[in-house]
Structure 1
């Protein structure tokens, strides 16, 4: 119920203030399970992505959203729990298997499962290499994958900044592509080459929708390198 309450309250505000521009809504199945694989430009993606859809999307989200302290932490847990985000541990290994089981359960219930294959918000406005968890879910769950591209949300709300209303390069919104069918690979979800092939096809479809420059590296690695350079500059300034 909270999902619909949030949409009914925030939805009109988002429509009036930012006039989001969306396309390809007919590519999202009206019923049955499917994966919506999306680029991840901004925190604002959580709002503008599901906004035009009549069906609820269940997203797998990082556990950090649910472990904060104080009033901010409480609000974060309340909001993300209410809108259907399922917390997952992204440290790999056993945690990855638990996330897989959770995703398969959502699909088994006939729902739409939202996934950010890049694994984190990107450090800049480019598209980064996808992790193969999305491919494993698609093959093991035997469901179509709908590519989903967020547009102009990076400029609207960069990491750590407040939302902008003016000066955007275009209206924020989302584009949905034609569903991708990977039935030719069913039963091969343990083949690493197949998983990489499927993942790369998904990322290419997202890139065609978004028009982003593609970087064949993981976003988390690029972010870690940038943070390391920033830390070294800080140390040099102190000296």
Structure 2
């Protein structure tokens, strides 16, 4: 497949990054025939290592279609890395700011110019204990439905063995193999003429993530869990548990204080004042929990 629109900065990035990648990892690359030769498209890729953007970019670069990644805005600010990110046309994501939606406008513009835009729908490295894809955020679905461009699901495995999730040191020996499998475009036509509601975006995202997960099952030769790991649900449950524990701690502390003040044992019954204090603690905990849930929903609506 002929390369197109590479430019100086991408060629420089390839000169810097490809030699260590070739030395450190073997390649098992499949499905490159599914990468469109022309026109704008999205790839939806699972994320399980800080090294996998480099390893996947190598695959995508060799396909002849250079990738435009969505990446956190901090990487664009200064130094050589920032210069490279800007020069290679990567797309900054400004989280929790008034510019949060600018990344999606830029992604849509890139697709409409005929570029390849890479989405990590999970939004971060997977937190699934067995490194299966998590539930996805809706950004890729939003761009796909608005542009009606092809969405190519891609699964990768192996960079996470070179640099395990959240690790800081490479695990070089024995030499690892980076497996990449790109599938045919995900069929989203049934969603095209519907109102772009949160439910529609969520359903579209689930279809995309299911395609990515099936490809990873093929690479790994095993089945993924029936229900994907949902970090939002885990955080909500952790907050609920923390609020309950704090309320119980407040209850226990107040019971001890009342008993000591009355000169009684630990079995003394709680007073009305004590019950009111416990109730107030529970109310504050519930309010904090609800505010956190609202933030989660707002971020999900922005596709973060």
TM-score by length of 1: 0.81
Counting only pairs closer than 5 Å after superposition, residues 1-239 of structure 1 correspond to structure 2 as 1-52=8-59, 53-67=63-77, 74-91=79-96, 94-124=98-128, 125-158=131-164, 159-167=166-174, 171-188=177-194, 190-211=196-217, 212-213=224-225, 215-218=228-231
Preserved contact between residue 22 and residue 174 of structure 1 (Cα < 8 Å): yes
Deviates more, 1:20-29 or 1:73-82: 73-82
Higher relative contact order (CA 8 A, sep 6+): 1
Distance 1:23 1:155 in 2: 19
Which ranges in structure 2 are unaligned for 5 or more consecutive residues?
1-7, 218-223, 243-304
Matched residue count: 219
Query: Once the two structures are superposed, what CA deviation does each residue of 1:43-68 show, in whole Å capped at 9, x if it has no partner?
Result: 2122111212211111111112234x
Preserved contact between residue 56 and residue 180 of structure 2 (Cα < 8 Å): yes
The residue number in structure 2 matching 1:237 is: none
Structure 1 outlier segments of 4+, above 3 Å:
218-222
1:148 to partner: Cα distance: 1.0
Q: Please tell me the root mean square deviation across aligned C-alpha atoms, in Å.
A: 2.6
1:160 to partner: Cα distance: 4.1
Q: Secondary structure at the match of 1:148?
A: strand
Which ranges in structure 1 are unaligned for 5 or more consecutive residues?
68-72, 230-239
Q: 1:83 to 1:123 in 2, by over 3 A?
A: farther
Distance 2:96 2:111 in 1: 23
Distance 2:205 2:73 in 1: 23
Q: Secondary structure at the match of 2:57?
A: coil
Query: Once the two structures are superposed, what CA deviation does each residue of 1:141-170 show, in whole Å capped at 9, x if it has no partner?
Result: 1101000112122221132413222147x5
The residue number in structure 2 matching 1:236 is: none
Q: 1:57 to 1:90 in 2, by over 3 A?
A: same
